[in-house]
Structure 1
Amino acid sequence: MAVTDKARADEAREAVVEAALGRLGLDAKARLLAGQDMWTLPALPEIGLKSLVMSDGPIGVRGVRWTADDPSVALPSPTALAAAWDPELARRAGGLLAQEARRKGVHVLLAPTVNLHRSPLGGRHFEAYSEDPCLTGAIGAGYVIGVQSGGVGTTVKHFVANDAETDRFTVDNLVCERALRELYLAPFEAIVEKARPWGIMTAYNKVNGTTMTEHHHLVDEVLRGEWGFDGINVSDWMAARDTVGAIGGGLDVAMPGPRTVYGAALAQAVRDGEVAETAVDAAVRRVLRLAARVGILDGAEPVVAEPPAPVDGEALAREIARRSLVLVRNENAALPLKPNGTVALIGAAARDARVLGGGSATVFPARIVSPLDGLTAALPEGTLTYTVGADPATELAVAARGFALEAVCRDAEGTVIGTRSAPGGLIQWMGSDLPDGVTHDTLHTVELTGTFTPRESGPHTFGIKGMGAFTLTVDGTPYFDEAQRPGKEDPFEAFFGAPVPRAEVELTAGRPVDVSLTHVVQLPDDIPMKVIAFALAHSAPRRDPDELISEAVEAARNADTAVVVVATTDRVESEGFDRTDLRLPGRQDDLVRAVAAANPNTVVVVNSGSPVELPWRDQVAAVLLSWFPGQEGGAALADVLTGAHEPGGRLPTTWGSLADAPVSQVTPAEGELSYTEGVFIGYRAWDRAGRTPSYPFGHGLGYTDWTYESLQLDGTTARVRLRNTGERAGREVVQVYVAPAEPGTHRPARWLAGFAGAQAGPGESVEVTVELPRRTFEVWDETAKSWAFVKGSYEITAGRSIADRRLAVPINV
């Protein structure tokens, strides 16, 4: 669409918005700004407005139901997407998610997360892209463009400095203005400029004394004023705390409902003279603008009238996964695997794959391809063996494999009033999402009931996740019949808290037993949303760890190559809590050392969403980072291990030990968390501290070799020529860094200015260009409260990582 055509379309939508706004009374306007339930805003038929539906992302579209009955495509984690260093791939991912949203009747995706990896202990880092604002902004912009090109809105989150989970509802993050501007606000600013997002989500935390849902300076003056953002500002769920403070701080929508600080409370504040109705009008205008853009306001032409061509979700999930795999070590060309060689696959995560992170990013794919599945399909019959080796799970997990369950709802008299299938042991019913015929007024108990068929004989442990009164029965015997209390005062404890063991039962492999978990539903009247959330948890018999490792060692000794898959668990990486260390859980480090001692050709696949310590990394032949690889992760892993495709990823964040990490603090002191490191996080901080990480930012190997031939500057355009000097086609990520000649103590030694992908066949050369924007040479002047262009001498470098810089040229600006 030509610029003039787009401008006319925007003007036409604005005219419809203004006309609709003019027909609304105060009560209707205030009601529109408050969630009517967990995921939606109310319809206003009097102006032709349908209900606006929102849904969690960022790796899939869950819809309004949190259940495996409504499956979703599950893409790799955001850290994986960023590891591909390809904004165009991010755009394609967004396009697929728009397709999924349309299929599920969703108008707005609650994504992407563009907070930074300030500390490696951040429990939710798998849901964010990178430690670097330039890379984060580029990938986030691609994602937003992709989603919105499908006619679905985005809410870039969490604005701002929501970089850890500890005390996230109340923490006051103290961040100097320069660090805010140069680091934490920078990805949001870049996405607003490049992608024009239709929404943004404000965070739970405070920044410098003011809660983000009431932060007039950052929302109205910076986001809207300086940057020109014209979309909606929606609260994170349950983040809005004060009616007058929120509307004065630029918050448009308070979620979820029906109890919020808006609605009737906002209308009354206007009548009491505490809030100007013009402030309400401004918020309503932005909501109606969003409704017009997504096509749910009568008379307004949606931005995307015809959806783009359909996308093959499984194929794209597989492509993203293999392009995100980062090969950080490959001694003696251990990978790709030699044709027809024997492979010993080892690790619990190789069989029961962990493909996504815990928390609100969770979706339920229709299928999951594990590493065992992928390699079984890819390797010749008879060349692959499998052993467990070591189980990373040290706690119970939600009941899944072997369970056949349904949820039975009863009223206070015990009469069945509704049922719903339960593919797993998790119940999460929010708002009006209840089984047919069931209401909150009539519901008294929910029973998860069915059978469990164990695959191992021995003592099986059953437990409960959730709060309230429960009765647990296994094979006809009641084991628990009392109340379970929360471990901490957190409104999301039922979602993110640990399951509690309540029964140990001796079972026989292959013999089904009846299981039942009944929960008495008691929802206080004053809660902001009605949520029924609990789970039946289970763990199989725990075999002797030394025996399991011995079996793995024997299998490795008899194979040409040992492939060990190690992993974190959802009790290590999840929304709701931060990590306490960077170690792999269980005996996995011992497993790797033992296998490597038995077979020098050991390949380790690390299945984690963010950095873990690899104390054995120099003892193995190859290390491949798979992140949380999404539903097709096992197929993608087989593609890369066999050499059908090369690993395409580069590190979006530094990997190193916690002891060496320059920034690690995530726990507030007396409610405050001081970002005392200023602008020195990630590789900037490692450089400043003079420490060498395990693997540096930007690092990643492929299956071919590259020679960097020339770097030329044409003004502020860097032109890099490189040649594929290997024996197969490949893709290289050319990274351009800027280093001031005299950084002093207040500027990093160097920082990422831009990057570009290069593809070439054997012997071919290719040239890429990387623009160096003006901001590359600016710093935030806290005295003048503006950007200052820093003249002087700089070195522009091009290379493969922050530590592997191949070419350099000086520049004076």
Structure 2
Amino acid sequence: MIDSILDKMTLEEQVSLLSGADFWTTVAVERLGVPKIKVTDGPNGARGAGSLVAGVKATCFPVAIALGASWNPDLVKQMGVALARQAKSKGAAVLLAPTVNIHRSGLNGRNFECYSEDPMLTAELAVAYIEGVQGEGIAATIKHFAGNESEIERQTMSSDIDERTLREIYLPPFEQAVRRAGVMAVMSSYNRLNGTYTSEHHWLLTKVLREEWGFDGIVMSDWFGSHSTAETINAGLDLEMPGPARDRGEKLVAAVREGKVEAATVRTAARRMLRLLERVGAFKSKPDLTERAIDLPEDRALIRRLGAEGAVLLKNDGILPLAKPSLDRIAVIGPNADSARVMGGGSAQIAAHYTVSPLEGIRAALSNANSISHAVGCRHNRLIDVFKGKIAVEYFKGRGCKGDPLHIETVDKGEFFWFELPSEELDPADFSARMKMHFTPEESGEHAFGMTNAGLARLFVDGRLTVDGREGWTRGENYFGTANDEQRGAVPLEAGRSYEITVEYEPSMASEEGINLIAVRFGVEKPLGEADIESAVETARNAEVALLFVGRDGEWDTEGLDLPDMRLPGRQKELIEKVAAANPNTIVVLQTGGPIEMPWLGKVRAVLQMWYPGQELGNAVADVLFGDAEPGGRLSQTFPKALTDNSAITGDPAVYPGQDGHVRYAEGVFVGYRHHDTRAVGPLFPFGFGLSYTRFRWSEPQLSATEMSSEGVTVRVDLTNIGDRPGSELVQLYVSSPRAKVERPNKELRAFAKLSLQPGETGTATLKITPRDLAYFDIETGAFLAESGTYQLIVAANATDVRSIIDLPSPSNYLLPTSY
């Protein structure tokens, strides 16, 4: 059928398939019955075509690092199935997920959106995720291919990575997604790889992806991430996104006419696009692009379970789990206590059906809600608190908010990120909007107003210009680098008095790099000070237990910028230390998208890392704190003692964050625990670490063979739960190699198994390795090489907790081509 359609297509029609129609859909060719299909952002929810911050409600699942900490591919596959169902509810046939870039520095703004520092763990989870999604007829899109481990100058930066490091660390998750999961789509990254944009990198997109790995799906650009016509199509980029066409369309037709692109190359790319439509069933029934909100009880239960499964208990001197009946006075404190920090920022954002804050979850879990006291203590927000309340919005044709409004609507949040305007008569490049609202402060005193805008905007309080986002506008770090840094103004306000706030907005005339976004965000807050910290301390002093909810949020952990350091922002360190001094029973609950430094660790009794676990956050954290669920997580990323212990943080800006448009991956394969182990840099918490509420007995490992063969070797370890509670244990199998021609890490993860056992129950962890698991990438031969010699199989509970070491002879050399 596909060839028949292609034979009837003109060159122009074939070319039309190779660019989006708009931000989220492909081009239809109605003459030949070729429908359009919709794509939607993941990876922790299916948003649909709406705004990043509004639109049709969607189910919010845990972020990827929380899934990585679960070490549970089966549960991740179930989430993939649920996400496919959510994608269908948004009329989408393609989910733009999973993200499988590696945790290199710990400062990547999208660290939360990636699974792990280890390629093997990342690959296992990605394969499970893709199988879940695609098993339901929705295409998954693995991203970002490749070398996108930082958000700094991401649209132009060259990630300079040697081939061995690429093959061993950064490419395996993509390779396994192709070979094992049959992923239908790959998204190229923004950055350059060794000097060439990945969207026009022939070696990456054609030689490696298609010829070596056998990929037969489509390659799409990241949004506005393609920069040429002939170069991209000749390299193997099929789909330019978003639409309408920028470097395709008439330019590509002309390139064919001029002989810069073969007509057969266009036909091949068009065939791949048609094959994608066929695979998602678009030819069998015309896709319904209608968007609906479905909030299912089974999804709620899965999210709650995933939240506990990925929760990592980092410290516990016996205070956890808390016994509900014995708690008369409990203090719930911190900037994340009464706010539901359920997701990171950027394109992963969705408008969740609902969110449950930790304070709400704890109140629901305890029968005596009066025993709970609450204090904020301090703030950690990077941006002023967004305005929440009734906002009347008027849209006008042209600039300056002149004449009668073309459209009027009412919203409840002071953040607008328009992919589509509310009327087709409004031109995204030539419109204006006026937002009006009223604010009545609860306390008198100076209040801070803040605004950031991709476009031009001004904020007035009772008619007085308070924040100017127009004069002197310059690009900053917000909205993927298309908006200014937040501008602020201070105004003294009286408690109980109503103030009128007006914001006037219009788009910019032009933007750099072809990225045109229209967005504005504004808010107001009364700054917190010393009295608020002292109030939190007093609240803690009068309680039996102090629960401190600290960390970051989606303003810090976000696409578009990296973190400045690994410290808790704001005055949170001070808050922790003062609360711990006032109450010896202090428990810290962390929400971050990656590692942080913990100078206060010795002053608290327990630390629980909850990440951003989706809309059931409060219920999941209450489940773990009160022992209704096991803290099932184990770290998928090493937590260093200090930022400078990370292998990418050398003090050389060329290594991180980059210099003169290049970032050099000088650490090579020594990423994460590979660095800490081999260079003897002790971590704060090692890769794979996590405590349980129960205890396990490990048997000695049993091997299926006494030496390596082409069939591989299976290792079995019996575990028995010798505690009085159900729980889970993680068995990790590392390989340590004999001396080789190149320096190799002390050990590398090659298999794992997670067992959930009832008290007294015994289970068997089964782990298999093959010659490829012994190998490194040999530059001279261009293949994976496992040299003969005696290897060590290291059975461990985490990267520093080794339980058994077994010698495994490998009598033969194994040379494994990349295209085997």
Which residue of the partner structure matches residue 526 of structure 2? 541
Task: Measure the CA separation in 1 of the matches of 2:334 and 2:235.
Answer: 50
Matched, 1:343 2:330: yes
Give a deviation string over 1:317-366, Cα, whole Å, max 9, x none: 11111111000110134433453313111102111122111111111102
Which residue of the partner structure matches residue 680 of structure 1? 670
Deviates more, 1:600-609 or 1:337-346: 337-346
Matched, 1:396 2:384: yes
CA distance 1:448–1:212, change in 2 (3 Å): same
Structure 1 residue 312, shift from structure 2 partner = 2.2
Which residue of the partner structure matches residue 83 of structure 2? 97
Task: Measure the CA separation in 2 of the matches of 1:769 and 1:414.
Answer: 72
Task: Measure the CA separation in 2 of the matches of 1:473 and 1:663.
Answer: 45
Which residue of the partner structure matches residue 451 of structure 1? 438
CA distance 1:377–1:89, change in 2 (3 Å): same
Task: Measure the CA separation in 2 of the matches of 1:806 and 1:711.
Answer: 9
Matched, 1:634 2:622: no
Structure 1 residue 627, shift from structure 2 partner = 0.6
Which residue of the partner structure matches residue 636 of structure 2? 652
Give a deviation string over 1:111-165, Cα, whole Å, max 9, x none: 1110000111212111111000000000111111111112111110000111111
Task: Measure the CA separation in 1 of the matches of 2:483 and 2:586.
Answer: 35
Task: Measure the CA separation in 2 of the matches of 1:126 and 1:653.
Answer: 11
Give a deviation string over 1:28-59, Cα, whole Å, max 9, x none: 11111011211111111122121121111111
Give runs of aligned pairs for residues 221-620 of structure 1, distance below 5 A: 221-298=207-284, 312-337=298-323, 339-341=325-327, 342-381=329-368, 382-400=370-388, 403-412=389-398, 413-430=402-419, 433-436=420-423, 438-440=425-427, 444-480=431-467, 483-488=470-475, 492=479, 497-509=484-496, 511-524=497-510, 528=514, 531-538=517-524, 540-544=525-529, 546-620=530-604
Task: Measure the CA separation in 1 of the matches of 2:286 and 2:477.
Answer: 42
**TM, length-normalised to structure 1:** 0.93
Give a deviation string over 1:276-322, Cα, whole Å, max 9, x none: 011111111111111111121258999xxxxx997722221111111
Amino acid in the other structure paired with 1:472: L
CA distance 1:425–1:187, change in 2 (3 Å): same
Task: Measure the CA separation in 1 of the matches of 2:366 and 2:453.
Answer: 43
Task: Measure the CA separation in 2 of the matches of 1:163 and 1:436.
Answer: 38
Task: Measure the CA separation in 2 of the matches of 1:361 and 1:441.
Answer: 23
Amino acid in the other structure paired with 2:668: G
Amino acid in the other structure paired with 1:809: I
Amino acid in the other structure paired with 1:424: K
CA distance 1:645–1:22, change in 2 (3 Å): same
Matched, 1:667 2:657: yes
Structure 1 residue 259, shift from structure 2 partner = 3.9
Deviates more, 1:728-737 or 1:173-182: 728-737
Structure 1 residue 529, shift from structure 2 partner = 6.4
Give runs of aligned pairs for residues 66-81 of structure 1, distance below 5 A: 66=51, 67-81=53-67
Task: Measure the CA separation in 1 of the matches of 2:604 and 2:676.
Answer: 25
Give runs of aligned pairs for residues 116-131 of structure 1, distance below 5 A: 116-131=102-117
Give the match's secondary structure for 2:273.
Answer: helix
Structure 1 residue 773, shift from structure 2 partner = 3.1
Percent identity reads: 37
Structure 1 residue 392, shift from structure 2 partner = 1.2
- Select which of 6, 31, 37 maps to 1:46: 31
Task: Measure the CA separation in 1 of the matches of 2:683 and 2:284.
Answer: 56
Amino acid in the other structure paired with 1:762: P
Task: Measure the CA separation in 2 of the matches of 1:24 and 1:575.
Answer: 39
Amino acid in the other structure paired with 2:808: I
CA distance 1:76–1:525, change in 2 (3 Å): closer
Number of aligned residue pairs? 786
Which residue of the partner structure matches residue 204 of structure 2? 218
Q: For structure 1, which runs of at least 5 residues remain unmatched after alignment?
A: 1-15, 303-307
| Contact 1:468 1:484 (8 Å CA) reproduced | no
Coordinate RMSD, CA, aligned: 2.3
Structure 1 residue 684, shift from structure 2 partner = 0.2
- Select which of 772, 794, 799 maps to 2:796: 799
Structure 1 residue 474, shift from structure 2 partner = 2.3
Amino acid in the other structure paired with 2:579: V
Structure 1 residue 599, shift from structure 2 partner = 1.8
CA distance 1:578–1:590, change in 2 (3 Å): same
| Contact 1:94 1:145 (8 Å CA) reproduced | yes
Which residue of the partner structure matches residue 11 of structure 1? none
Which residue of the partner structure matches residue 813 of structure 2? none
CA distance 1:18–1:373, change in 2 (3 Å): same
CA distance 1:441–1:652, change in 2 (3 Å): closer
Task: Measure the CA separation in 1 of the matches of 2:380 and 2:678.
Answer: 35
Q: For structure 2, which runs of at least 5 residues remain unmatched after alignment?
A: 289-293, 650-654, 706-712, 811-820
Structure 1 residue 791, shift from structure 2 partner = 2.2
Structure 1 residue 679, shift from structure 2 partner = 0.6
Task: Measure the CA separation in 2 of the matches of 1:700 and 1:57.
Answer: 28
Matched, 1:624 2:608: yes
Give a deviation string over 1:362-413, Cα, whole Å, max 9, x none: 111021100000001111322211111221125324323xx21132101244
Large movers: runs of 4+ above 6 Å: 299-302, 308-311
Structure 1 residue 741, shift from structure 2 partner = 4.2
Give the match's secondary structure for 1:659.
Answer: helix
| Contact 2:452 2:469 (8 Å CA) reproduced | no
CA distance 1:486–1:106, change in 2 (3 Å): farther
| Contact 2:384 2:522 (8 Å CA) reproduced | no
CA distance 1:482–1:423, change in 2 (3 Å): closer
